[in-house]
Each structure stands twice: as structure tokens, then as C-alpha cells.
Amino acid sequence: MSTSTRIAACHASPVFLSAKETTAKAISLIQGAAINKANLVVFPESYIPAFPIWSALRAPSENHDLFKKMATESIYVDGDEVNSIRAAAKQFGVLVSLGFSEKARYSSATLWNSNVIIGTDGEILVHHRKLMPTFYEKLTWAPGDGHGLRVAETQFGKIGTLICGENTNPLALYTMTAQGEQIHISSWPAIWPTRLPKGILPTPSNEVANGTGSDGKTFVSSVARGANYDNVAANRTRAAAHCFEAKCFGVLCAGYLGADAIETATSGSSTPDIISQGLQCSSRGATMFLDTTGTLLPGFTIDPETGVREQKDLLQNEEGILYVDVNLDDCIEGKQYHDIAGGYQRLDVFELKVDRRRRQPALFE
């Protein structure tokens, strides 16, 4: 196994709600990353065909047409789109982690928030369905199962992935640690709105403060004054904690919000101005890397025309591919201090059982 791995995280938007066109864009990004000698190419949460951002800000009774489009454009794990990505992975000799909205063969409307890790030979190494859709995601996706709680053992490291809010679940994270994970991929949407625009107005002068800073002055937290969810802080906090505990590298891959996403999610709404403002004002997700202590690991972009590198801590407000080179031997030192699934665990005191059975609606004999 190679100890050096180049990771390419695609901070990219889908062609909103078009599985065919987004698949073509993904293959183009895989090719570009392979040209730049990437070993692992990572895509955001539900990259094909889109993340259902409309469910955050629109009433469910307004979203029937959007859900129908989402169901129509969601893809099968053994369908043409995934097979095309598998063929690209094999052609260019790279590993691919792909987020997609998966549909069931036995239903016209049961969907899952899924991810596959594809090997350099084009084979699917891990097929995971998000254990529990978060908040308004329940309006689109069904709960998954434990079948995909696996770490792929590849020539470029032991690679695992969890989707968005699963990175808040300590048992899911420990499950990955217990399999010797060296590179942890966390995939995220471009935005994750939790409030309408009125929630991010300036704090009124008469608002009661709810904390005290290091300077002794009182302050009002962003949550208390109704601010929107801070994607960068929340995502990095969760990923960094896991990197520190598992002594693994972290890949945070977030989507990019395209103008077509705002237009589609706004169209047909009874309050288009509010929805549009809510989408445009929401905190953008960021794509970044973390080292085995949870510290930010600066990456770099590569100009496709000149080949010139530019160091960047993260990508947030522009599309692109962020690269980093990691040395897997760096996962060793921290295990001296806290190997929480090994020498620093009390296996005689604690026991975790993980059910990996793939759930089916009926068993036919």
C-alpha cells in the first residue's frame, strides 16, 4: 500500500435536478483530477441530481412538483449514471467517492441519501445509505441501514465516509474508527438553511445577552438572535473531533450553490422573494482538509491551463477542485496517546454491535 495519497475534493454544483448532465460534469471533473495525478476524487452530498434545498424554506404543500422531479432524477445504484462513473474511475485509475440520491427498484418514490466508494477497477467497494435523514431531509429521504458502515481497504489507504449529520453520531464515527480508518470523508450540501431571512437581521439593542466573553462583556449567541446555521463552523467542529479521536485525515467536501438551484427552488413559491433571499443569505458550506490532529491542512488548486498551484485553506465561494497530498504514516504517532478502538479502549467494559443487514420490504421464500 502506498503511504502517499493525493486527494481531490470537488467543490462543485450539480446541473440542478438533471442526473444525465450532472453525471457528465462529474466525469469531466474526474478526468481533470486524474490529469493532476489525484488518487482519490471526492464529490459532495447528493451530488446527483441535487440536494433538496427547497424543503428548508418552502411549505411541504408547495413542493409536490419538486419532489416528483427529485424522484424522477434520482438514480439506481446499478443504473446507467453510476455505471458511467464506475467506468470513468476504471479508465482513469482513481478512487471515487460519490454522493447521490438513490431510488429503489421496488418503489416509485422511496429515496435514500446515498454514497458509494468506487475502486480503481470500477468496482463498488462501499455502498452506504445515510442512517437517518436530518430535519427537513425526512421530507425527501427514507432512513438507511447499517450495510454501508464499512471502511474500504485500498492501495491508497483505508477510506471511510459518512454523510452530513451522521458525522454528529458518535457510534457511527466509532464504527469507522474500529475499522482502522485512515482517511475520513464527510460530505455536505452547499447550504443548509434553518431559518428564513428575518432570522439574520441585526441584533436589537434591547435583546437580552446570554453569555460572557473573555473580556468580561456580555454577548448574544448567533442561535439566540435567530441566525442561520453556520455550515463552516459546525461541519469543521464535527470533522475535527473525529480526526483527533480516530487519528485520521479528514476530507470535508461541500457542494456549491449554483444560480440554477436558486431559480428552481424559488420558482412556483408563494413567497419567491423570501425564498430567494433565504437561499442567497444562507451560510455556504466549505470544502477543506484536516490533519490527524483535527488541524486545518492547507490544500491547493491547480490552474487547468498553466498547471500553476495556488495554496488555499478552503473553497467556499467559488467552484473548483481542492487538492492535498497526505502521508498515511502520519496516522501512527497519535495512536500512542489515544487509540480509542485499541490500546486506549476498555473492550471489557464497553461493547458495540453493528447490524449490517440490508433491509428489504419483504422476504420471499
338 phi and psi angles, rounded to 5 deg? -140, 90
Same domain, residue pair 144 and 242: yes
| Residue 61 belongs to domain spanning | 4-191+229-336
Per the domain annotation, does 268 fall within a domain?
yes
Q: Of residues 164, 243, 248, 253, which has the active-site annotation?
A: 164
The stretch 148-162 carries a mean pLDDT of: 98
Per the domain annotation, does 354 fall within a domain?
no
Q: Of residues 10, 25, 45, 247, which has the active-site annotation?
A: 45
Same domain, residue pair 177 and 285: yes
Per the domain annotation, does 361 fall within a domain?
no
Of 206, 228, 250, the position where a domain reaches its end is 228
Same domain, residue pair 285 and 321: yes
The pLDDT value recorded for residue 106 is 95
Per the domain annotation, does 203 fall within a domain?
yes
The stretch 150-164 carries a mean pLDDT of: 98
Same domain, residue pair 102 and 203: no
pLDDT higher than 70, residue 93 = yes
pLDDT higher than 60, residue 217 = no
Per the domain annotation, does 347 fall within a domain?
no
Does the CA dihedral 306-307-309-310 come out positive or negative?
A: positive
Per the domain annotation, does 183 fall within a domain?
yes
| 31-59 residue pLDDT tens | 999 999 999 999 999 999 999 999 999 99
The pLDDT value recorded for residue 225 is 52
Q: How far apart are CA 348 and CA 365, in angstroms?
A: 40
- Based on the structure, what is the number of domains in the chain? 2
Q: How far apart are CA 184 and CA 174, in angstroms?
A: 12
The stretch 172-194 carries a mean pLDDT of: 97
Task: Using the structure block, give the residue that is written with the C-alpha cell 470500477.
Answer: 122
pLDDT higher than 70, residue 326 = yes
Same domain, residue pair 206 and 233: no
Q: How far apart are CA 353 and CA 129, in angstroms?
A: 18
Same domain, residue pair 86 and 210: no
pLDDT higher than 50, residue 201 = no
**Is 164 a catalytic site residue?**
yes
Same domain, residue pair 246 and 218: no
Q: How far apart are CA 114 and CA 130, in angstroms?
A: 6
Task: Using the structure block, give the residue that is written with the C-alpha cell 478552503.
Answer: 314
Same domain, residue pair 209 and 132: no
Q: Of residues 69, 103, 130, 247, which has the active-site annotation?
A: 130
Same domain, residue pair 80 and 137: yes
Same domain, residue pair 204 and 61: no
Question: Residue 324's beta-bridge partner residues?
Answer: 7
Same domain, residue pair 178 and 258: yes
Which residues, 6+ apart, have CB-to-CB distance to 119 below 8 Å? 89, 95, 125, 152, 154
Per the domain annotation, does 355 fall within a domain?
no
The CATH number given to whatever domain includes residue 47 is 3.60.110.10
Same domain, residue pair 36 and 143: yes
Where residue 2 falls among pLDDT bands split at 50, 70, 90? Answer: confident
